[in-house]
Chain A
Amino acid sequence: MFRIILTKIAAGLLTTLGVSIVIFLGTNALPGDAAQIRLGQAATEDSLRALREELGLNLPLYQQYFRWLFNFLQGEFGTSLASGNVTIAQLISDRYENTLIVSTLTAMIGVPISVGLGIMAAMFPGTIYDRFLTLGSVTLVAAPEFFTATLMVLFVVFFLGIGNAVVVGSIEDKNLAELITHFILPIATLCLVIAAQLIRMTRAAVLNVMNSPYIEMAILKGIPRRRVVMRHALLNAIGPIVNVIAINLAYVVTGVIVIEVYFGYAGLATLIVQGVQTRDYILIQTLGMIFCATYVILMMIADLASILSNPRLRHPK
């Protein structure tokens, strides 16, 4: 069993390494290097050469890559190209809180509710409740995030009269009520976005188990439906469900980009969009790596979870 886990982890690390190469090469294709951008109009041949030497840009590409990777792993991300002499670490530490709070709270609130709803839908397939949920999630799963966000704004701000359509100010010195109005819209929207996926996939996972012969046996024995689901089906569905959860958490990492821009609050996602607009490729490299690594790790957890929870995969023949 350890061998399987180790190979999975090794595969995840290798993928991350591959992703880092893609990101490094992609951002290196940008016209102009860091020395040119930083010196701008004032660049002379000599000053350019000096700065390139200092930044290590005269080294061969593969050496630059390893240097960059090594620095990245040590948390030395370099200095931003667009915003003067601010270090990337500084920019990130100013912003990361918002992104972290929103995605963590989304996971903590959205996941249990949607998994519960999905199991309920699988428990009573074909009922009005199930159809309502299925139709709702079919609609939301295909709709863009900003559509869901607009619906949430219409409902929460215009109908309920809570909060503001645009999130303003920092979270410091705000009391609980103010914090709730600060975060309610982005979190509620993201919850809705992942709920659509989660409900559908959880329902499918449980229904898949419900179709197996031993469940048929249990039903024929006359066990009440709720007990069949809770005791017989659910235990075997845990693996797929955990898998589904991890996949959707990985989805939050990307979904948060649109949501942050929509509600205009300062987080890591708005930072990377800003980086693309100002062509600050050091910023893009760093944040791209952070987002992609999180994504890969979550996908790896999804993989591991489905192996660990399934005895047949845990002890392959």
Chain B
Amino acid sequence: MLKIIAWILLAAALVVLPFVLSYSQQEVLVFLTINVLVVSSYRLLTLTGEWSLAHVVIMGVGAYASALLTKSAGFPVPLAMLSGAAVAGVFALILSFPLFRMKGFYFLIGSFAAGEIMRLIWIKFRDPFGGPKGIKLIPGFDTIEIGGLKIDFFEPVNYYFLALIVVAVSLWIIWRVERSPVGLIFHAVHWQDKLAESVGGQGAPLPHAGLCHRLLLCRFVGRAAGALHRNRQSQPLQCRRDGLCSDLGDRRGYGHVLRPDPGRDRVDDPQRRCLARTGDGSGPAADLRPDPDCIGPVPAKGP
């Protein structure tokens, strides 16, 4: 009974929480919610006694896949999030074949190496990954309408509840898996892997463990990709004559954030104050041309 009351109180607190926070605190709350799942899903992998350093990188695979599918393939955001999750799952499953040949410290180092390779690929290949600054101009999550009720996911409170639902479902899945015979085998592999193997306890569970880890991870990967969408909306840059531009319009509640024109450091003429991109805005820096009147809006830089 005490347990039920505790759960009800927790649920009530989680529902009320965003309404007592400021806008920026709500933003933090969204990421905090995602990170609960990052940490919790890590537990499932460590049940087998192995520590992976590629955990968060796999999350990145889902996020990048989701972003690219939205931007380049024109997927609707919800579909792109699910597809990003699937891509991360398949990618991690493939990666699990070489990594599961190792254990202990070797697995740790192997997973670190795999993660580092992926990270460097994202940084070094500006096309399509956008280099160190990541992918920009990703289409945002459309407002959805359910029975006359409009849900705008630009609002952090709405996004928080979406994240909360995804996290709650994912945690429930983790709980179910851990308490199942599959979870028992994970524990068994952790404590006495040879004994578990001697009664047939490896043929399926370890690949399962990997897949399971990935699938659960994918839940928040998709979610994280959503957050990425949200923070990288294709808001137009507003440039001023002094070379400072602002983005992130008033819609999200922020004031204009002034920063140096992102194109200035990539052109030869330091006198150019404001730049506009030619074509569709996706070309390299060489395509930038001076904006003679230096007035906005100027499209934000592409990758």
Bound pair (A, B): no
Chain A residues within 8 Å of B, Cβ to Cβ: none
Chain B residues within 8 Å of A, Cβ to Cβ: none
